[in-house]
Amino acid sequence: MHLPLAISLNFLTDTGFWTGVLILAGVYALVALGLQLNMGFTGIVNFGAAGFMAVGAYSMAILTLKTGLSFWASLPISMLITIGFGFLLGLPSLRLRADYLAIVTIAASEVVRLVAQNARDLTGGNQGLFCEGAKCFDDQWRDVSDKIVGWLQDLGWSNPDQLVPLLLVVWLTVIVVTLGLVFAQRTPWGRVLRAVREDEDAARALGKNAFSYKLQSLSISAAIGAIAGWFLALDLATLHPLDYEPIVTFYAYAILVLGGLANYWGVLAGAVIFWVIVEGTRFLELGISEVRLAAIRFAIAGLILILIMVFRPQGLFGKRDEMVLGE
C-alpha cells in the first residue's frame, strides 16, 4: 500500500544532497552575516543584498572573461567595485528612516539585476554568462578544485563529489568571516555600532560620527556580499540575472531571523536549518509535479518568516534583551 505522505529517508545518506545543501547554506550564511552586521548590530535595514552579490559576481566574471585578468586578480578588484557600489548606495540613502531605506535598497538591487538582464553585450543577458570561446570564468578555479579532489583521494576518500572542494572553501570562508565579525564586535568600533543601533542621537551626542559608522557597516556587508556572489556563480557554473532576484535577500532575512538577531553564530545554524528544511522537501513523496513542489518550498520559506516573527521575534538563538524587532 502506498502512503499518501511518505518520506523517503534516503537523503540522510545522499552525499550529493548534503554537498548541494551545505554549499547553498554557506553562501546564504555569508549573505545573512552581512545582513546581521547591518540589521542586527547597526540597525540598518538593508534589502539590497542580492544586488551586492550580483555586482560582485558579474564584475568578477566580466573582468575574467573580457579583460584578460586572471580569475584570482579579478576577485579583489570585483570586491572593491562592490564596496564602491555599497558606498555610493549608502551615501545618499543611509539618512532615510528604516522603511524608506528598505525600499531604496531593494530598488537598487533590482536596478542591478535589470542592468544584468539588459546590458547583453557585457553580461550575456538572459543567455547567462559563463564562457567566451574556449575560456570560462571559472577555469582557474576548476584547476584548483581538481587539485583538492586529488588531495582528498590521497587522504583515502575514494570518490568525492565534484563540488566538495567548493563546499570546503565556502565553509572555511564562512568560519573566517564569522570569526572576523565576532572579533570586530568586541572592539571599540563594534561597541559604537551597537550604540548607533540603540540610539543614533545619543551616539552622535558623544561625538561619534554615526553616519560614517553606518556607511562602514554597509560597505563591509557589500564586501561579504561580493564573496557570496562569487561562490554562487562557482556553484551554478554560470551567471544569470534570475539568480539575483530580491527573493535571495528575502531568504537571507528568513535565515537571519531564524538564527536570531545580534548573534553571528546563530546565522550559521539558521542557514543550515533553513536549507535542510527547504531542500529536504525534494524527498517528500507526494506524487506532485516539480512546479508544485517548488510552490510548497516557497510556502515553507514564507511560513518560517511568518511563524518566527509572530511567535519568536528574537529567533532561535537571539538574545531577547539585546535585540528584538519591536518598537
Partner 1 sequence: MEAGALASGHERTLTERIVSAIRGRPALVAVVVLAVIVLVMVAAKGLHDVAQTGLNGLSLGAVYALGAVGLTLVYGILRLVNFAQGDFLTFGAYMAYLVNVTWGLPLVLGIAVGMAMTALLAVSLELIIWRPMRAKRAGVMQLLLISIGLAFVIRAFVQYIWSTDIRSLDVNVTATVHFFGLTIGRTQLIVIVIGFVVLIATGLMLRLTLLGKRMRALSDDIELAETAGIDTSRVILYTWIFAGALAGLAGVLSGAVTSLDPVFGFQLLLPIFAAVVLGGIGDPFGALAGGIVLGLVIEWSTLFIAAQWKVTIGFAALIIALIIRPQGIFGKARAL
Site for partner 1, rule CB under 8 A: 39, 45, 92-93, 96-100, 102-104, 106-108, 110-111, 114-115, 118, 250, 253-254, 257, 289, 291-292, 294-296, 298-299, 301-306, 309-310, 313, 324-327
CB nearer partner 1, residue 205 or residue 303: 303
CB nearer partner 1, residue 137 or residue 274: 274
Write down the least CB distance from residue 185 to partner 1, Å.
20
3 state SS of 129: strand
The answer to whether the CB of 296 falls within 8 A of the CB of 281 is: yes
Q: Where are the beta strands (DSSP E) in 203-316?
A: 284-285
Q: Where are the beta strands (DSSP E) in the chain?
A: 6-7, 131-132, 135-136, 284-285
Write down the least CB distance from residue 41 to partner 1, Å.
14
The answer to whether the CB of 279 falls within 8 A of the CB of 37 is: no
* Rounded CA separation 193/203 (Å): 9
Write down the least CB distance from residue 118 to partner 1, Å.
5
Distances in Å between the Cα of 309 and the Cα atoms of 35, 102, 271, 296, 299 are 17, 17, 17, 20, 15
Write down the least CB distance from residue 232 to partner 1, Å.
20
Write down the least CB distance from residue 242 to partner 1, Å.
10
Neighbours of 196 (CB within 10 A): 25
- Exposure string for 111-122, b = 16+ CB within 10 A, e = fewer: ebbebbbeeeee
Pairing between strand 131-132 and 135-136?
A: antiparallel
Can you tell me which residue has the cell 564562457? Answer: 131
CB nearer partner 1, residue 99 or residue 321: 99
CB nearer partner 1, residue 12 or residue 286: 286
Write down the least CB distance from residue 289 to partner 1, Å.
7
The answer to whether the CB of 51 falls within 8 A of the CB of 108 is: yes
Which cell numbers hold the place of 40?
Answer: 542586527
Write down the least CB distance from residue 137 to partner 1, Å.
24
* Rounded CA separation 224/26 (Å): 12
Burial class, 141, CB count within 10 angstroms (exposed 0-12 / middle 13-18 / buried 19+): buried
Write down the least CB distance from residue 219 to partner 1, Å.
18
Write down the least CB distance from residue 108 to partner 1, Å.
6
Residues 6+ apart with CB under 8 A from 291: none
Can you tell me which residue has the cell 532575512? Answer: 253
The answer to whether the CB of 255 falls within 8 A of the CB of 64 is: no
